[in-house]
Amino acid sequence: MNEVAIGWWGVPLAVLAGAIRAGTPFIFVSLGELLTEKSGRINLGLEGTLVMGAMAGYGVSYLSGSPWLGVLVAGLAGMAFGMLHAGLCSLPRVNDIAVGIALMLFGTGLAFFLGKPFVQPQAPILPAVEFGWWSDIPQIRAALRINVLFLIGLGLAPLVLWALRTTRWGLVVRVAGDSADAARAMGYSVDRIRLAATVAGGFLAGIGGSFLSLYYPGSWNEGLSSGQGITAVALVIFARWNPMYCLYASLLFGGAGALGPALQSVGVTEGYYLFNAAPYILTLLILILTSSSRRRFAGAPSELSITR
């Protein structure tokens, strides 16, 4: 395919493609974080879970030849980390924020350790669906070559919204997040609810990680994650704990992350690193604009330590 000169039109197109491509891991990690936070606990360790998922998914895909098995194992590895987080946090006097920081370090370290043999080989990666067949312009075709996990993520956000709003299970999670006492009074074990929510959240974050290694960028190395797990925590706050807003915010963050490389490709090389920091700057601005020292966040689970 020959590149057609489309000049500056390449920038919005690349941002669109980036929103879809780089936004997908954000969708999964932020929905996972949202589930955990809805139950009243924050998991800062999803960064470690993400990297671990990326490594496990890639390794299994390489060894078994099936990328989908890799995605599944990435999710299972995420569940194991979720279980570790929830188990530690259920001990009295153990702080969930600190455990998250520790798991961030441990998950990244373990993934780098176990992933050493997978840095070189090329594993089979996930398939994509061509939505750009109608166009003759290769850039548009490339932008509309959409991965299957993105489509799953598109369906997952409304599903989580529905589950939290209308199912009994969703109600129990929200009660645990808004008032642990009320959940106890209803006869539920708060620790067990939070364990389930954190494990489910870890599963999603692990899958988000496998997207990085099995689709885009599509290889395993130690610089794979650019802090998506951390950004997801702020993204959930920005999204006001609403799964649909999580989806939109993920696309926004994906697009923001694609801005730097896109501008570089049309010759704007000034400030490359600063554009790379765009997601962090955006996150910080959003946090500053949406927070207030006088009132609580609208929509925040009352039991959450970071908004108290």
Partner 1 sequence: MALGSDALRRSAEAVAIPLLALVASMAVFGIFVALVGRDPLEVYGLMYRAAFGTWFSWQNTLTRAAPLVLTALCTALPAQMGMVIIGGEGALVIGGLASIAAGLAIKATGAPPFVVHAAMMLAAMGAGGLLIACSGWLRQARGVNETISSLLIGYIALAVMNQMVEGPMRDPTSLNKPSTAALGDSYMLGTIPGMDVQWGLAFGIVLCVLAYILVFHTTFGFGARIAGGNARAALLAGLPVGRMVLIMTFLAGGCAGLAGMAEVAAVQGRANASLAAGYGFTGILVAFLARQNPIAILPVAVLLGGIGASSGMLQRRLGLPDATVMVLQGIIFISILASETLFGRFKLFQPREAER
**Contact residues: partner 1, CB under 8 A:** 44, 84, 88, 91-95, 97-99, 101-103, 105-113, 116, 222, 227, 230, 233-234, 270-274, 276-277, 280-281, 283-284, 287-288, 291-294, 306-307
Min CB(136)–partner 1 separation in Å? 38
Cα–Cα separations (whole angstroms), residue 23 to 153, 183, 249: 10, 35, 9
Count of Cβ atoms closer than 10 Å to residue 7 Cβ: 8
Q: Which is nearer to partner 1, 9 or 112 (CB)?
A: 112
Q: Which is nearer to partner 1, 112 or 248 (CB)?
A: 112
Min CB(277)–partner 1 separation in Å? 3
Q: Which is nearer to partner 1, 14 or 104 (CB)?
A: 104
Q: Which is nearer to partner 1, 93 or 168 (CB)?
A: 93
Min CB(281)–partner 1 separation in Å? 6
Q: Which is nearer to partner 1, 60 or 237 (CB)?
A: 237
Q: Which is nearer to partner 1, 248 or 280 (CB)?
A: 280
Min CB(279)–partner 1 separation in Å? 9
Long-range CB pairs of 176-179 (<8 Å, 24+ gap) are 176/39, 176/40, 176/303, 177/37, 177/38, 177/39, 177/40, 177/301, 177/302, 177/303, 177/304, 178/40, 178/301, 178/302, 178/303, 179/302, 179/303
Q: Which is nearer to partner 1, 227 or 299 (CB)?
A: 227
Min CB(91)–partner 1 separation in Å? 4
Q: Which is nearer to partner 1, 10 or 18 (CB)?
A: 18
Min CB(79)–partner 1 separation in Å? 17
Min CB(270)–partner 1 separation in Å? 8
DSSP string computed for the chain: -PPP--GGGHHHHHHHHHHHHTHHHHHHHHHHHHHHHHTT---TTHHHHHHHHHHHHHHHHHHHS-HHHHHHHHHHHHHHHHHHHHHHHTSTT--HHHHHHHHHHHHHHHHHHHHGGGSSSPPP---EEE--TT-S-HHHHHHTEEEHHHHHHHHHHHHHHHHHHHSHHHHHHHHHHH-HHHHHHTT--HHHHHHHHHHHHHHHHHHHHHHHHHTSS-S--TT---SHHHHHHHHHHHTTT-HHHHHHHHHHHHHHHHHHHHHHHTT--TTHHHHHTHHHHHHHHHHHHH--SSSPPTT--TT-GGG-
Min CB(105)–partner 1 separation in Å? 5
